Amino acid sequence: MAADSTLLLSLVEEFVSGLQDSKAKDTATGVKDGKFTVLQLVEALGQSLTSSQSHTRARGVQLLSEVLQECYGSLTETEVEVLIAFYENRLKDHYVITPPVLRGLGALTKCTVLPPGSAVSMLRSLFQDVHVQSLMLAERACVYNMLINLMATREAELKGLGADFVFGFVQSMDGERDPRNLLLAFQIAKNIVLRGYDLGKFAEELFEVTSCYFPIDFSPPPNDPHGITKEELIQMLRDVLTGTPRFAEFLLPLIIEKLDSDVQSSKLDSLQTLTAAVSQYEHKDLAEFLEGLWASLRREVFQTASEKIESAGLAALTALTSCLSRSVLNSDSEDYLSTFLDLVLKDCKHHLSEPDLKLVWPSAKLLQAACSASNRASYIITAAVMPSLIDQYNSRAQANITGEESVFLAFRPSLCCMVFSALTETNASLQITASSVLTSLAQQRGLLLDSDINLAVDHLTRLVLTENDAEVSLAVVECAGALAALHPAAFITKLIPRLKKEMFSEPMDHDNERTVSERHSYHAVRQRCLSALAAVSSQPSSVGFSVVEVVLACRSLQRIAEQVQDTEETGRCFHDIIIPRLLSLALQAALQGEGSPGHRSPLVEEAVLSAMVPVISTSCSRLQPTLAGQTALRAVSLFLNGDVSFLPDNSFPSHIQLLKKQRGDSWSQSQMVCLLMGCVCSLPRSVEVPQIEELLSELEEMSCACSHPLSYTSAAKCFAGLVNKRPQGDSLDSQIQSSVKRVCRELDSASASVRTQAFTFMIWVAKALLLRYHPLFTTLTDKLFSLLDDADLGPMAADGFTLLMSDSADILNRSCHADVRIMYRQRFFSENSDKLVQGFNAAPQEKKPNYLKALSNIVNTLPKQVQVTELPKLLSLLLEALSCPDQGVQLSTLSCLQPVIMDPPPVLVQQLEALVSRLLALTSSPAMVLPFRARVLRALARPLDDRKRLVRSEAVKARGQWFLLGSPGGS
């Protein structure tokens, strides 16, 4: 010990006085190796820390901070408390000491053993004693990282500060200019507005300190080593500004102001921000700004020379109208949607009556954008616009149409013959022209008879399946789409079934023997079929896919997700398109299913949702960290807060509550929790799932309160997947203990269904804890063993050991980044096999089969080499299991005994008579022996070639008996 003390003093002296920075690493190594503790280091630094020279004090604090940055994980709560008090006091010291103090506090914020109240204490000292913007770049980044760390681990304490926390952050960020630090500051502000921190009277201050950077004007220098992009800054700032409706009164005037700018990028950013913002707002947030917003949007579409800005303006108009459409009308409330659409119609409708002027198309686009926002908006606009359009059409085209029809009718047979003949030619340009003419003929009343339509459908089907020319295929698909809108019956009965059959047919088994060109041709045909189906399915219910077909499509998507390369472009495709589209389709089907139970979509069927889960989980498990974090935020916001802003075709009602109990026996929405499981339970463990406490609480409630099997099972699995990856700590232990108490309470219920749900929840949580060796797992293990004596749940508890020990396909596996420790099965067996034996011996006779089944299920999941080693001491119980009337127990036990019988140990030889007698008893049940038929036949093939005739003869007889087993007339 004396030598260690001397070494420590030497290291301190060389670092502080000798200015040898490398000694900090040597000191940290000494702490890690246990040669001395952090508090001993503080004592050794005593003279340095109390020196009258500020530089010497700074070097002493620097040494301590650098050691803490390496060793913070091994600190005790007492040590952390002492160090925090020391550092808080040092913040009042000379300004040259502030940088190392901040680095030390930053290291302490990463500790998992922060004492209660220490987070608030640190921040009060920081906000009171440090002027952040007077610090250097690295020190400012340190402050921001401290806030991020504490928000991740001590959120409840920080929220206890109320608006003081927001005010302190505003003061710290005010004036920040470095883009690296701005990303961190925006992240903190985003957390504040999205996680429910109390803004108090500082909402405007928080908005001002962040909105001063809007719109982002940043060009990264060439060869920037930090990799910060303008797009990252724009998106992060946009998330802050649009994160809460409390910013609406400040943001909307700012957007109107920025749209007056001459800078194109500023206009585009403002329009995109407006689109994102209104998805979070209610109609009352927009009311006073509607005229200004409409004037700006109208100007951008009427006067812009940029297609991007025009598209962004139309998208913003759609989002704005959609927001107003979600308003609920009361007898005494103003209809803001009608008020806004009156403005739109007033400025656009009269231009439609002047088709020769240049504003007719911009006006039509604006009306179309507003019309597409919702059914109600489309009704208002259509009712106002359509009469005048119909009158214009009739007044200008009636005479011409009548004359043209009479002329073409005289040549109808010749025209049809010419078109159909041209479609059979091999000349591409002729086929394209014929397709165009066929479309024109179909649009003239009376020119095509039903027989002509059927013949046209046959030609189009043939061309879709056989024509490889890209231009011809495009023309044929467009023609099919136009004709299907006019004559849907012929396409529904002829073309659609033929294309679906081609799409869902599997390729030949000899795929490896096919040439590259053949495989390419096969995929090209399926692509053309898909394009044609998309073109003709524009009419409602024109293409009805069965459950089997939708499941096959999901499996194809899963194979793509498994085999595609892990690139950022691929990840963004799944993140931006595929996952939102699947969630949108499922949600739309769930909402429609509640309204029309007699015509349910395949997307509400359990088979389809179960097929969607691996598509989502496979793609989420391979996302890059940034995209994975965004996916977690989106999924949790959708299921917890009803945030549908990221979903395509967003016409969903506001305030959707997917995790809340539905009205009556409705389950179409609650069962979507399986998709939440696919999103959040397959993400890497490094990804932080937002609002985790609230999410776990809602999942636990659904697991125990929802009576729909898929819903409560998926909720239990999702809860287990999150608990398995959650960092060790008091919050996790508290959550588990609370859940265990509820499970025990529910298991004591008189309701069989309630007990079944509680058991399902318990077994999945037990599996999550077993995989990671969590200490509280033994509590659930003891409860599970006790249930083997339960009259109702005993068989289910015995089967539960199979789930506990076997690999799960959709969750809690390594491909989903679950925390799976090596040899967890062997450890469970070694710790609990004696309990099973003791329980069996003490159990009444009618309960013994449950223990036998549990033992068989456990042993059957062990590696074969472990089975061979452990089975001899359990042989008497396994022989007893062969007499159990449960065929599942018999099959499982036979599988366990098979490797031991191949190389019998002495203890088995002693029990040979008992084994044979039980096996002979089983042979009287063909259904019992049938699963072993193929294995026995393979084993009997070798004796057929034996050199002894008697052996061969017996082998033939035995093999013949086994061949007949299970066949008509056989035994």
Say yes or no: 293 and 367 in one domain.
Answer: yes
Bigger pLDDT: 659 vs 700? 700
483/447 Cα distance (integer angstroms): 13
Same domain? For 846 and 946 the reply is: no
Helices and strands (H and E) in the chain: how many: 50, 0
Q: How confident is the model at residue 508 (pLDDT cuts 50, 70, 90)?
A: very low
pLDDT digits (tens, 9 = 90+) for 443-482: 777 778 888 888 888 988 888 888 888 888 888 888 888 8
Higher-confidence position of 900 and 94: 94
Alpha helices in 883-932 (DSSP H): 887-902, 906-910, 912-922, 926-929
Whether residue 119 lies inside any domain: the answer is no
High-pLDDT (> 90) share of the chain, %:
6
The predicted-structure confidence for 748-805, as pLDDT tens digits, reads as follows 887 888 889 889 999 999 999 988 888 888 888 888 888 888 888 888 888 888 888 8
- Per-residue pLDDT band for 1 (boundaries 50, 70, 90) equals very low
For 142-152, how does the pLDDT look when each residue is reduced to its tens digit (9 = 90+)? Answer: 999 999 999 88
- Give the residue from 342, 376, 399 where a domain finishes: 399
Among 375-389, 679-693, 750-764, the least confident range: 375-389
Place 434 in a pLDDT band, splitting at 50, 70 and 90: confident
Across residues 572-596, what is the average pLDDT? Answer: 79
Counting the structural domains of the chain, the total is 6
Q: Does residue 854 sit in the same domain as residue 872? A: yes
Inside any domain, residue 113: no
Q: What is the pLDDT at residue 868?
A: 67
Position 620 pLDDT exceeds 80: yes
pLDDT at 801: 85
Q: Tell me whether residue 558 is in a domain.
A: yes
- pLDDT class for 436, splitting at 50, 70, 90? confident
Nearest C-alpha neighbor of 188 from the set 160, 201, 169: 169
At residue 419, the pLDDT reads 82
What are the residues whose beta carbons fall under 8 Å from the beta carbon of 658, sequence distance 6 or more? 587, 638, 639, 642, 669, 670, 672, 673, 676
Determine the average pLDDT of the residues in 572-597. 78
What was the pLDDT predicted at 406?
A: 36
Rg (CA), the chain: 36
Instruction: Give yes or no: residues 679 and 736 share one domain.
Output: no
Do both 266 and 366 map to the same domain? yes
The reported pLDDT for the residue numbered 47 is: 81
pLDDT given for residue 331 in this prediction: 44
**Among 383, 399, 415, which residue terminates a domain?**
399
- Clarify whether residues 893 and 913 are in a common domain: no
- Above 60 in pLDDT, residue 206? yes
- 105, part of any domain: no
Q: What is the pLDDT of residue 145?
A: 92
pLDDT of 927 reads 60
Domain check: are 620 and 478 in the same one?
A: no
Residue 806 lies in a domain: no
Question: Within its chain, how far is the Cα of 863 from the centroid?
Answer: 33
pLDDT higher than threshold 60 for residue 252: yes
Residue 53 belongs to a domain: no
Q: Tell whether 794 and 884 lie within a shared domain.
A: no
Residues comprising the chain, all counted? 971
Q: Determine the average pLDDT of the residues in 934-953.
A: 83
pLDDT category, 516, cuts 50, 70, 90? low
Least confident of 12-16, 278-282, 322-326, 866-870: 866-870
Cβ atoms 478, 535 nearer than 8 A = yes
pLDDT the model gives residue 545: 65
User: What pLDDT is stored for residue 509 in this prediction?
Assistant: 44
The mean-pLDDT minimum among 6-10, 206-210, 726-730 falls in 6-10
> Is pLDDT larger for residue 924 or for residue 600?
600
CA pair distance 214, 237, nearest whole angstrom: 8
Average pLDDT of the segment spanning 196-219: 87
Q: How confident is the model at residue 511 (pLDDT cuts 50, 70, 90)?
A: very low
895 with 912, same domain: the answer is no
* Of the candidate ranges 179-193, 282-296, 864-878, the one whose mean pLDDT is the lowest: 864-878
- Run of H or E including 593: helix 579-595
Report how far residue 194's alpha carbon sits from residue 210's, in angstroms, rounded to the nearest whole number.
15
Q: Which residue has the higher pLDDT, 860 or 716?
A: 716
Please compute the mean of the pLDDT values over residues 901-905 and round it to a whole number.
66
Q: d(Cα 770, Cα 808) in Å, to the nearest integer?
A: 13
Whether the CB-CB separation of 446 and 409 falls below 8 Å is answered with yes
**Percent with pLDDT over 70 in the chain:** 84
* Position 325 pLDDT exceeds 80: yes
Q: What is the average pLDDT value for the chain, to the nearest integer?
A: 81
Split at pLDDT 50, 70, 90, the class of 410 is low
Q: How far is CA 681 from CA 463, 617, 666, in A?
A: 46, 8, 25
Q: Decide which of 399 and 636 is more confident.
A: 636
Q: Are residues 797 and 657 in the same domain?
A: no
As a whole number, mean pLDDT of residues 553-561 equals: 80
Taking the C-alpha atoms of residue 119 and residue 816, their distance in angstroms, rounded to an integer, is: 33
Residue 480: both structure tokens together: 């099919």
Closest listed residue to residue 153, CA positions, set 194, 186, 189, 118: 118
Regarding whether 348 and 298 lie in a shared domain, the answer is yes
More confident residue, 464 or 520: 464
Query: Residue 443 belongs to what domain range?
Result: 401-506+518-537
Higher pLDDT among residues 666 and 636, named by residue: 636
Q: Which of 287-291, 334-338, 594-598, 622-626 has the lowest mean pLDDT?
A: 594-598
pLDDT at 664: 55
Mean pLDDT confidence for 844-852: 78
Split at pLDDT 50, 70, 90, the class of 966 is low
- Does residue 527 lie in a domain region? yes
Of 346, 375, 399, the residue that ends a domain is 399
Asked whether residue 542 carries a pLDDT value surpassing 60, the answer given is no
711 and 837, same domain (yes or no)? no
For the cut 80, the answer to whether the pLDDT of residue 503 exceeds it is no
pLDDT at 718: 92
Let me know if residue 347 belongs to a domain: yes
CATH at 268: 1.25.10
